Structure 1
Amino acid sequence: MSLDRMVLAFAGLMTLLSVVLTWYVSPYFLWFTVFIGFNQIQSAFTGFCPAAMIFKAVGVKPGTAF
């Protein structure tokens, strides 16, 4: 799996996790969903993505998503 696809999968997983935590644990986990969305928006404009940096450091091969 390429780096781009790994980041997309991770973002989707974190979004779903935050929804589950909001539903079953506390409505305050909605702020986690907001943080994830904000991080995706800033990454689109700046190109800075902490998850991509971590995945690259562990050896995930670079590539294009589509």
Structure 2
Amino acid sequence: MTLDRSVLAFAGIMVLLSVALTAWVSHHFVWLTIFVGFNLFQSAFTGFCPAAKMLRKLGFRPGAAF
């Protein structure tokens, strides 16, 4: 799996997890959803993605975007 696809998969997992936590634990977990969405939005314009840096260190091979 390339770094690009792993970043998308990680973001999707985080959104689903935060929605589940919001529904079943506390409504304050909606802030995690907002944080993930903001990071996706800013990385589209800046090219900087903290998750990509972390996943690159874990050994995922580079893709076209990151």
1:5 alignment partner in structure 2: 5
- How much has 1:59 moved relative to structure 2? 1.1
- Name structure 2 gaps, 5 residues minimum: none
- What's the Cα RMSD here? 1.1
- Partners in 2 of 1:60 and 1:28 — Cα distance? 32
Shift of 1:58: 1.5
For 1:58 and 1:37, the matched residues in 2 are separated by 23
Match of 1:61 in 2: 61
Q: Residue 64 of structure 1: CA displacement?
A: 3.6
After superposition, residues 4-23 of structure 1 pair within 5 angstroms as: 4-23=4-23
Percent identity among equivalent residues?
A: 63
* Letter in structure 2 aligned against 1:45: F
TM-score for both structures, normalised by structure 2? 0.92
The reply to whether residue 37 of structure 1 matches residue 42 of structure 2 is: no
CA deviation after TM superposition for structure 1 residue 18, in Å? 0.3
In structure 1, stretches of 5+ residues that fail to align are: none
